[in-house]
A = this chain, B = another copy of it.
Amino acid sequence: MTKNRLEAFSDGVIAIIITIMVLELQVPHGTELSTLQPLLPVFLSYILSFLYLGIYWNNHHHLLHTVNNVKGGILWANLHLLFWLSLVPFVTGWMGENHFAEIPTAVYGFVLLMSAIAYFILQTTIVKTQGKNSLLAEAIGRDLKGKASPILYLIAIISVFFHPKISQGIYLLVALIWLIPDKRIEKVFFDNDTNNH
Contact = CB atoms under 8 A, between A and B. Distances in A.
A79 interface: yes
Interface string A6-37: 01110111111111101111011011110010
Interface string A90-113: 100110011001111001000000
From DSSP, what is the main secondary structure of chain A's interface residues? helix
Interface in A70-100: 71-73, 75-76, 79, 82-83, 86-87, 89-90, 93-94, 97-98
A134 interface: no
Interface of A: 1-2, 5, 7-9, 11-20, 22-25, 27-28, 30-33, 36, 47, 50, 54, 57-58, 61, 65, 69, 71-73, 75-76, 79, 82-83, 86-87, 89-90, 93-94, 97-98, 101-104, 107, 179, 181, 186, 190
